[in-house]
Each structure stands twice: as C-alpha cells, then as structure tokens.
With several copies, the nearest count.
Chain A
Amino acid sequence: MPGYSNRELIIATIADLLDGIRHVAVGASSPMPAAGAMLLRARNEIAKRERVRISILGSEEHNFFTNGGVELFDCTAQGRVDAFFLGGGQIDGEANINLVGTGDYPQTEVRWPGCFGSAFMYYLVPRVILFREEHSPRVFVPKVDYISAPGVSDGIVRPGGPHALLTGMALFDFDKQKKRFSLRSVHHGYTAADVRAATGFDYDAPENVPETKAPSAENLAILRGRVTEELSESYPAFAEMLRGERKEAA
C-alpha cells in the first residue's frame, strides 16, 4: 500500500502540472482538475507564493465572471487564463482530440455531446492539460475519427496547446516539434508494459520509466483536510467519495 489512492496521486500530479500559473478555469463537472487546482492554491498560500485564482465554470458561487458565457473565451484570448483541462472520447498520438463521435461524420455511430469550446481553448490556453482517467485503446487511438481540435498547428497564430497528458495510469509529456507524446512516469501499481498495452498510439519512452512522484505527506495532509473541505462546497458527491476511499484505505 503506497499510503495514497490513485485519485490522490492524480490530484497531486495535477497540482504539480499547474505549478507557476495564476489563473486556471475548470468545468463545474470536473472535480479532479478542481481538486488539483485547489491543492496548488492552498500550498502556494502556505508557502506565500503567487496567488492562484480558480474559476469554476457554471458555478454560481465560485464564478468570478460577470460578462456571461463569452467571458471565459475573451479572458483566454486576453492571455488571462494560464491553464485549462480538456478530455475527449478519443485522443490520438498527435494530441488531436475528438469530442464528437466515432464513425463517419455526421452520422456517427456513437455520438458524444460535441466540441464545446475545445476548438478555441486548445489553441489559446498556454498550458492545456489533457486529462482522461480511463486509459484504454478505445480512448487512446492511432488516429481520431473526428478532429474537434488538433494537437499542433502550422502557419497560424496559436499561443496555446497540449502541455501534458494525464490518465489513471500514467503521465505523458508532449513534444510539439516531434508531434509525439513521451511517457514521463507510470502511476503506482502499473508498469510501462501495462501502459503500452493500453495505449493505441505509438509514443516515446525512456528505457526505465520512473514511477509518478508520490504526493508528499504535507500535500496529502492539505488535500485530505482543507482541499476536501473546499471541494465539498462545489463537488459534494466527489468529496464524499474521497473521504470514503480514505476510510477503506485506512
């Protein structure tokens, strides 16, 4: 037993990936990214480092926007949103993401909700973290069936793009020049071979893949205390689940 759950590891990893940012926007139905952002905010406050601002989209209480739904996008284009999370029904080895569906568009066999703001945010937010807990060949495909937003672009103004890919199993970096992911680390309980088997696209990997950095005792304490408290305001069900997992582990 590593002394932390897989979810706690992911949250702590998100906090590390966000390190240095001033403003992150997270979705109202995205508790893990929100938890990571809250962990970073709390530990920066304790260390008297830069203040972290978290906009929870769609929330009435934790929404600091006053100009309607367009403000997230304007704010992003102004360079005031440093980090954002995107997922996808499919993600391929060039970091293209598909939020639309599988099969031939438009009459896709499986239809997901749609692109939302991805065809804008992916281009303009400097640090986009691709986050998908499910790590399987059906998600991580050689080539997406529909490009909601491409991983890289040539010949256009594009200040933003993929910074990392985080899953329930591993953490990848993305090289924009090579247009390829490289495996940075594997979460406790998994091997590099597990990741290779569960990933449908090719990627680079070091000979010896390290384990994803375990959350420090201090980080775990903040996460289990203050952050879980903060989470219960906007994500009560998720906060309960975290508490439950902890009891089971104990």
Chain B
Amino acid sequence: MGEIVSLEELAAEVQPGCKLAVPADYCGVAMSATAAIIANRPKNLHVVCVPVTGMQGDMLIGEGLVGTLETSAVTLGEAGGAPRFQDAVRKGSFKLMDATCPAVHSGLIAGQKGVPFLPIRGIIGSDLLKTRTDWKTIQNPFSDEEDPIIVVPAIQPDVSIFHAPEADRFGNVRIGRRRELLTMAQASKATIVTVERISEESLLKTEDSAAGVLPALYVTKIAVAPRGAWPLPLWGEYGVDTAEVARYAAMARTPEGFAAYMDGFARRLREAA
C-alpha cells in the first residue's frame, strides 16, 4: 500500500474497460499521468467524473479511450466548451451518463460506506431520469404520506487517480480540504496518486497535518510528477496556465488540431516540470 513507483508503472494500473474516477479541476488533476495512460491506449474506459471534468476528460475522449462517460459537466472553464466532448456527443461515440453533482457524491459515499444506494432529494422531474435508469424512485419508508425520493446506486470505481502536493514515504497523501478525494479513494478498489514531492516526515505526525490526509491504507501506488497537474492548477501550489488551456481549446476544435496538440503534449509536460 502506498508504494512509490515510476509514472509508467502507475499508469499501467489503468486497464482497458476499467471504471476510472477522476476529480474536478480544482481538486488536482493528474495530467502527467494522463499522458502516460494515453500512451498505453486502454480502450473502453468508464470514466466517472467527481463530479465534473475538463481537459483531462476531453483528452481521453479525443483519444477514443472512453466507452462510458458519467459526469455532471464537461467544460474547459474560461476557455469555453470541451470540443472533443461536444464532437463525440454529436456522433454518439460513447455511452453518456449525464449526472448532477450531489448524485455523484452520494453514489461515491454509498461506495465508501459499502451500502448499495443512497437517497437524494431533488432530481424528480428532471430529464436526467430518462437516461439514468440506474437511478430509482422509491417511497420514503419513513413517511405515511406519498413521498417519492430518488435512490442512486453505489459507485465503486476500479481505479481513482488524482494529483496532490505531497505524499510521505509511508504512502500517506496530503489532500487538505478536498474531502471528495478521500471519498473517491475509499470507494475505489485501487487509488493511484501523483505528487509534486515526497516528504520524509510522516504527514500524520501532527494533528493539523493529519486532518488533511488520505491514509496509505487507501493508496495503491504513488509516482512523483513535478507540476503534474499542468496546465491545470494545483491548490496551494500553482494556478491554471490559461494560455495553454486556451491553446488546447482552439486546436482541439478539429480532430486534426487535437492530434497535433497531443503530439507535443507529453514533451511539453516534461518541459513544464
């Protein structure tokens, strides 16, 4: 648990057809690892976005590696819509499981708690239910009146992956206030993490640092990847590279432009590190 390996070894955990959970841009996206995963070309991934995605999801879609996309939104933020996603939606290139943010959280919490489902308010009357036939409406067993409520099934990813500022040599990972990373990791069978650096001292050493830690118990493999979220931001470390994301947004409008962008992406990652 919490073994420190190379980026390549880490990326090999993502096998074809696996259910892969990825975080939102503000939580630390493992972009270096994404390039390493793409190099392995694992097809037919079921990507669960916690609860949304951006460039990472768009890249995996553009590379044709996504069989199912479960997400509450895909956007490049200020750079606009996600072009490969939009194109693939139009073409029906993958199975689309549109969601709403709290339902993704509830599904993962059900996974974390080992229960088959969690109830959630709202949603009834939304067209989400037309395709999310995996969400069911039940009568609230605690109400004597008619009180329909949605139950969403547990989400149990095979692998979850994110990028964090720091791990210690015991395999504990600093996640700060990004508690969804803990939920995601606990709900997943395996969790792989890239970090800016490895700390010699245990992150569990003080009460303050321990409060923001994902324990090694839930961490399968860790790889060091300096500036591993680039061009996306990493909380407490660096901001988004707006120009680079805009460059991606512009180039990815066509399949050819996307291919040209991806051609140099791994190289630019190395330069940025």
Is this pair of chains taken from one and the same complex?
yes
Q: Please determine whether A111 and B72 come into contact, CB atoms closer than 8 angstroms.
A: no
Q: Mark A137-163, 1 if CB is under 8 A from B, else 0.
A: 000000000111110010111100000
If the complex has contacts A68-B180, A70-B183, A120-B100, are A78 and B214 also in contact, measured as CB distance less than 8 A? no
Which of B78, B113, B148, B149 is in CB contact (< 8 Å) with A29?
Answer: B78
Q: Counting CB contacts under 8 A, is A227 at the interface? A: no
Q: Please determine whether B90 and A109 come into contact, CB atoms closer than 8 angstroms.
A: yes
Q: Which of A1-9, A100-108, A210-218 contacts B (4 or more CB under 8 A)?
A: A100-108
Minimal beta-carbon separation of A34 from chain B (angstroms): 15
Q: How large is the interface on A (under 10, 10 to 19, 20 to 34, 35 or more residues)?
A: 35 or more
Q: List chain B residues, Cβ under 8 A from A100.
A: 98, 127
Q: How large is the interface on B (under 10, 10 to 19, 20 to 34, 35 or more residues)?
A: 35 or more
Q: List chain A residues, Cβ under 8 A from B220.
A: none
Q: Please determine whether B73 and A153 come into contact, CB atoms closer than 8 angstroms.
A: no
Q: List chain B residues, Cβ under 8 A from A75.
A: 186, 217
Q: Please determine whether A69 and B51 come into contact, CB atoms closer than 8 angstroms.
A: yes
If the complex has contacts A66-B214, A150-B125, are A112 and B120 also in contact, measured as CB distance less than 8 A? no
Minimal beta-carbon separation of B84 from chain A (angstroms): 11
Minimal beta-carbon separation of A27 from chain B (angstroms): 11
Minimal beta-carbon separation of B74 from chain A (angstroms): 6
If the complex has contacts A60-B236, A115-B99, are A68 and B183 also in contact, measured as CB distance less than 8 A? yes
If the complex has contacts A67-B179, A73-B102, A107-B89, are A157 and B147 also in contact, measured as CB distance less than 8 A? yes
Q: Please determine whether B177 and A116 come into contact, CB atoms closer than 8 angstroms.
A: no
Q: List chain B residues, Cβ under 8 A from A79.
A: 114
Q: List chain B residues, Cβ under 8 A from A114.
A: 52, 71-75, 98-99
Q: Please determine whether A116 and B122 come into contact, CB atoms closer than 8 angstroms.
A: no
Question: Which of B71, B130, B210, B217 has its CB near the most chain A CB atoms (within 10 A)?
Answer: B217
Q: List chain B residues, Cβ under 8 A from A164.
A: none
Complex: A68 Cα to B102 Cα, angstroms: 12
Q: Please determine whether B121 and A157 come into contact, CB atoms closer than 8 angstroms.
A: yes
Q: Counting CB contacts under 8 A, is A65 at the interface? A: yes
Q: Counting CB contacts under 8 A, is A244 at the interface? A: no
